[in-house]
Amino acid sequence: MSKIVINNLCKKYNGKLAIKNLSCEIGHGELTAVVGRSGSGKSALIRTICGLDAVDAGEILMDGVVVNKLEPKDRDVAIVLKNVAIYPQLTVFENMAAGLKIRKAPKEEIDKRVKEAAKILGLTQYLQRQAKNLTAGQKQRVVLGRAIAREPKLIILDEPLEGLEQGLRAELVTEIAKLNKRLNINFIYTTQSANEALVIADKIMFVEEGELVQYATPLEIYDMPNNLPIAAYFGVPRINLLPAKLEKSEQNLYALVEGGKLKLDNELSAEALKEYVGTGRNVTLAFRAEDVVLCEENGLEIAVESIDKINDDLSIAVVYSTASDNAIRFNAVISAEQGQTVNVAIKNKRALLYDTKTENLIK
């Protein structure tokens, strides 16, 4: 178990900043998902943490010790890179023991650690099988087993499930989350999959152009994203985003949208009220499909255009406002029939407001 502190970390490649003054603190035994689009700086971050690349500025501390100048082998970090190869002609045991043999661990210790890792991962019966005869899922478990057998302070998984079919990915994501809790070792898991991050992580780091935009629990990321790119990145179906303006009437706050208005219960600061309410300034109203409810009054009249069944328990309606020629469309989880006209509102305290220009959350 290790506490990891990163202070004002900077990393350049060919003179261009890939990581910009990034700071965070990862608690003992936490599984941290590093999320962002391709080129966001995820790989640069984990390469500096494990020591594959040198730090240009800032500090990385593990259990209070600055590790900036330590070689990768001296940081007690195991890393599983995407598309990492296993040795097809070697047995599962030999593959899992490879790292320990390089470190010249005693034979008895290697035997003990590999067998313990194999038991955890359900690989005991395959220890003498050649790796080339394994399924894709079993091969991925062997790679994980190689990292676990080392008993490091930190395991870094850099998009380890990329290229695997969806069902197997989902299965392995669940296994990795359980593994983290069972071993009580820090995991850092990079992924482009928003859903994987929400399922697997204790905390999520959303990185964009080398900057840490938000570092929070999955629930906080989902419920209160700091900006529009994060809001749009997480959630299926995609969060609804409607152009709007704000006004107050009889002490109630409303979002004026094409075709009507929606009553809001957002508690805005005095500064935000002055800047956005009644000023005609453009904002973006954001809300998730599951936060749309039917109502009798003070709602937006919409018609149900189509209904898409996601699974046995969930159907998503695509709806549009009826009071304007330029109808807005959005998703909603409501009990209604195709072609039906109903009034809808947004659940209490579930609407989000963003500045259209800066894309930042309005508080």
Query: Over the stretch 219-242, which tens digit does the pLDDT of each residue have?
Result: 999 999 999 999 999 998 899 999
pLDDT score at 171: 86
Which range has the worst mean pLDDT, 10-14, 22-26, 112-116, 318-322?
318-322
Is residue 361 domain-resident? no
pLDDT score at 299: 84
Whether residues 268 and 340 share a domain: the answer is yes
**Domain residues for 303?**
240-355
Query: Over the stretch 139-167, which tens digit does the pLDDT of each residue have?
Result: 888 999 999 998 899 999 998 888 778 88
Percent of the chain with pLDDT over 90: 65
Residues with Cβ within 8 Å of 7's Cβ and at least 6 positions away in sequence, in order, are 23, 58, 59, 60, 61
Is the pLDDT score of 326 beyond 80?
no
Domain boundary among 218, 233, 248: 233
Is the pLDDT score of 323 beyond 70?
no
Whether residues 208 and 67 share a domain: the answer is yes
Domain boundary among 233, 253, 280: 233
Whether residues 262 and 176 share a domain: the answer is no
For residues 2-13, give the mean pLDDT: 94
Q: Report which of residues 76 and 216 the model is more confident about.
A: 216
Whether residues 255 and 206 share a domain: the answer is no
CA neighbours closer than 13 Å in the CB half-sphere of residue 199: 15
pLDDT score at 48: 95
User: Of the candidates 184, 188, 146, 140, which has an alpha carbon nearest to the alpha carbon of residue 42?
Assistant: 188
pLDDT score at 19: 97
**Nearest 5°: CA angle at 74, between 70 and 77?**
105
Is residue 34 domain-resident? yes
Q: Report which of residues 67 and 308 the model is more confident about.
A: 67
For residues 198-221, give the mean pLDDT: 96
User: Of the candidates 23, 352, 48, which has an alpha carbon nearest to the alpha carbon of residue 205?
Assistant: 23
Question: Number of folded domains in the chain?
Answer: 2
Is residue 363 domain-resident? no
Query: Over the stretch 273-319, which tens digit does the pLDDT of each residue have?
Result: 999 999 999 999 999 999 999 988 778 888 888 888 767 666 787 88
pLDDT score at 262: 92
